[in-house]
Amino acid sequence: MRAIDYFDRGHDRDPSRLAIIDTESGLKLTFAETKALTERIAAALQKHGFENQDLLGFYGPNDGMLLVAVLAMWRANGKWIPVNTRNAIDANAAYINYVRLKWMVYHSSKADEVQQLKDLCPTLQHFVCLDQRLGNDPSLEEFMAGVSAADFVEPEIDAFGNLMDMVGIFPTGGTTGPSKGANVTNLGWGTMIETAADGMGGRTDSPVALVSAPITHAAGPIALSTMSLGATQVILPGFDAEDVLRTIAEYKVTHMYLPPTAMYQCLASPEIGKHDYSSLKIFILVGSPCSPEKLRQAVEIFGPAMCQAYGQVECPMIVAWFPPEDVARFAYEAPEKLAACGKPTRSIKVALMDDDGNQVPLGEAGEICVRGALVTHSYFEKPEETAEIRKFGWHHTGDVGKFDKDGYLYIVDRKKDMVVSGGFNVFTAEVEAAVTELAQVREACVFGIPHEKWGEQVHAVVVADGITEAEIIAYTKERLGGVKAPKSVEFIDAIPRTAAGKMDKKELRKKYWGDAQRMVN
């Protein structure tokens, strides 16, 4: 099936059900109204020269009409280019020029940044402002003038649903260099949505999904997945812990996604004990490993709704799934299992490999390698980079993991983040999890810094109150042993993050390594 077919599946469940509630603008649309609007926007795109498999970029805060425009673009068989407003302008310009983006829909609040992109990106030719006319750029309403849903001409579709057409070129995290574009097909997107529905569906007849993280990142695919289940999307313009907690109670939210760091902010909010969260059925954590202790606390507060998924842009969202019933059970019976990210889903095969392509014995750490329809087609116009991550007939994630005897997968670290100290391998994610067990520590980022004798030593950067360096080192030494415990701790107000919301270890390392590649002395 095509990406738009999954929205239509949600529509067919109940066309009269609310599909979108925009808390900022007040916009409310039923599934029937949303479908008609996507057909009208798609007709307008066709009228203005948008061609089959053209690229359309979206730039702005979370907005109900932005979500509608994404659906309309898919109805016209276009490709989504998510442009992250958290990126530096130069980084966004580099990505736009790399994929040769021609069309952009943006929000007026980002007009100054869009003007800079116009100056830096010669391929950009067509602009539509969602909410008002700006200069020569028509508002979305003006763009649709003179066309109706009936004017939409369905693109040619084969019996398989155009499985190998692209739904988008999605930027990778860019933690080691400029973002690459992952070519995502209808086959891969549909596999992701079907797999997500396996885990998130069937839990309520009236699903209500909260969207507060950026639609241009993981929140977008998750929102579009829940729409296939007929879920109403309650859209906040951005993440604010207090707003999220109030909105859960006000709208009786059943499904929501946050990255773990945002969930931590919710736990620390003074609003946390003031609201009723009993409506929650699915509170999914995706994007980075979650502190087991923080996850246990979340189960106590939000109830048996907490769950985790593991994936990456190249095999999106749901390689492994840790369902809420398992998380809730382990929170009380086996809290050590909360360090897992779940079990491999039915849509993917997972193997742990050494550098020579051999599968490692049970319980040992190896690179997580995957195979199946969930894996993205390729990197856009980067055949050598694509070949590098597809060795031995598998996609290589760059993550290190291990399985336990019950089949649960644990993310040990990124391969590039492993610290080699005195000949011992130290996985930083394990150290970070131990440090954040301490109640005074809100966040921890661990990496290696140069050491004359050991090559590297383990260093921790933490956001904490009321605890000393010596206390953190002593606790982790008791928990993990002397080799893995940090030898030094730095306290800061906030850990820097990439545009994708991940801890920016590369930036933190610069203080110790400069711009050199990581090395041992």
Do 433 and 352 share a structural domain?
no
Are 467 and 375 in the same domain? no
Q: Where is the domain boundary, 333, 364, 395?
A: 395
**Cα(458)–Cα(445) distance, rounded to whole angstroms?**
11
- Strand-strand pairing, 441-451 and 455-464: antiparallel
Asked if 503 and 454 sit in the same domain, the reply is yes
Query: Whole-angstrom distance between the N-terminal and C-terminal Cα of the chain?
Result: 53
For residue 80, the SS3 value is strand
The residue-averaged pLDDT of 135-161 equals 96
**What are phi and psi for residue 468, nearest 5 degrees?**
-105, 165
The answer to whether residue 134 sits within a structural domain is: no
Q: Residue 520: its pLDDT value, please?
A: 37
- Cα separation, 213 vs 195, in Å, equals 21
Torsion angle of alpha carbons 450, 453, 456, 460, nearest 10°?
Answer: -80
Return the closest-CA partner of residue 206 out of 6, 13, 3. 13
User: 119 in the Ramachandran plot: left (φ > 0), alpha (ψ -120 to 50) or beta?
Assistant: alpha
- Is residue 423 pLDDT above 90, yes or no? no
| In a domain? residue 480 | yes
Percent of the chain with pLDDT over 70: 98
Beta-carbon contacts of 337 under 8 Å, excluding residues fewer than 6 positions away, are: 330, 404, 408
Range of the domain at 424: 417-521
Of these ranges, 156-160, 173-177, 198-202, the one predicted with the greatest mean pLDDT is: 156-160
Taking residues 275-296, report their average pLDDT.
93
- 421 and 508 co-located in one domain: yes
Number of folded domains that form the chain: 2
At 45-60, the pLDDT tens digits run 999 999 999 999 999 9
Are residues 214 and 406 in contact, defined by beta-carbon separation less than 8 angstroms?
no
- Confidence bin at 64 (pLDDT 50/70/90): very high
Whether 158 is in a domain gets the answer no
510 and 452, same domain (yes or no)? yes
Pairing of strands 488-491, 419-421: unpaired
Q: Which residues contact 474 (CB under 8 A, 6 or more apart)?
A: none
Q: Does 509 map to a domain? A: yes
Dihedral sign computed on CA atoms, order 431, 433, 438, 444 = positive
Lowest mean pLDDT among 113-117, 122-126, 175-179, 337-341: 175-179
The total of other beta-carbon atoms located within 10 Å of residue 290's CB is 26
Positions of E strands within 286-330: 306-312, 315-322
159-178: string of b/e by CB count within 10 Å (b at 16+)?
A: eeebeebbbbbbbbbbbeee
> pLDDT per residue over 1-13, tens digit each?
999 999 999 999 9
In a domain, 471, yes or no: yes
**Residues paired with 349 in a beta bridge:** 371
Last residue of a domain, one of 360, 395, 430: 395
- Output the average pLDDT for the chain: 93
Note whether 390 and 452 are same-domain residues.
Answer: no
CA 72 to chain centre: 22
Strands 315-322 and 306-312: antiparallel
Nearest CA-CA partner of 399 in 315, 293, 338 = 315
Q: Which amino acid, 310?
A: Y
Confidence category of residue 404, pLDDT binned at 50, 70, 90: very high
Cα 176 to the center of its chain, rounded Å = 18
Instruction: Please check whether residues 381 and 428 belong to one and the same domain.
Output: no
In the numeric block, the tokens 């919301």 are attached to 501
454 backbone dihedrals φ, ψ, rounded to 5°: -95, -5
Predicted pLDDT of residue 175: 53
Residue 3 lies in a domain: no
Q: Name the residue among 396, 376, 29, 17 with its Cα closest to residue 190.
A: 376
In a domain, 498, yes or no: yes
Greatest distance between any 2 Cα atoms in the chain: 74
**Residue among 244, 369, 218, 248 nearest 308 (CA):** 218
The predicted-structure confidence for 222-260, as pLDDT tens digits, reads as follows 999 999 999 999 999 999 999 999 999 999 999 999 988
C-alpha distances in Å from residue 79, one per residue of 71, 102, 157, 182, 412: 11, 11, 16, 12, 34
Tell whether 389 and 421 lie within a shared domain.
no
- Whether residues 421 and 378 fall in one domain: no
Torsion of CA 428, 433, 439, 443, to 10 degrees: 50
Same domain, 513 and 438: yes
Domain CATH number, residue 511: 3.30.300.30
Residue 458 falls within a domain, yes or no? yes
Q: Are residues 376 and 438 in the same domain?
A: no
**Cα–Cα distance for residue pair 280/290, rounded to 1 Å:** 19
| Long-range Cβ pairs for the range 408-412 (8 Å, 24+) | 408/322, 408/337, 408/340, 408/342, 408/343, 409/310, 409/320, 409/340, 409/341, 409/342, 409/343, 409/344, 409/350, 409/368, 410/339, 410/340, 410/341, 411/289, 411/310, 411/341, 411/368, 412/365
E strand spans, 340-440: 343-344, 349-353, 366-371, 378-379, 395-403, 409-414, 419-421, 424-426
348-390: per-residue pLDDT in tens?
999 999 999 999 999 999 999 999 999 999 999 999 999 999 9
Q: What is the mean pLDDT of residues 26-52?
A: 98
- The pLDDT of 167-174, averaged and rounded, is 88
What confidence score (pLDDT) does residue 502 get? 79
Pair 437, 520 in one domain: yes
Please report the pLDDT score of residue 412 as a whole number: 85
Residue 179 near residue 95 (C-beta atoms within 8 A): yes
What letter would DSSP give residue 245? H
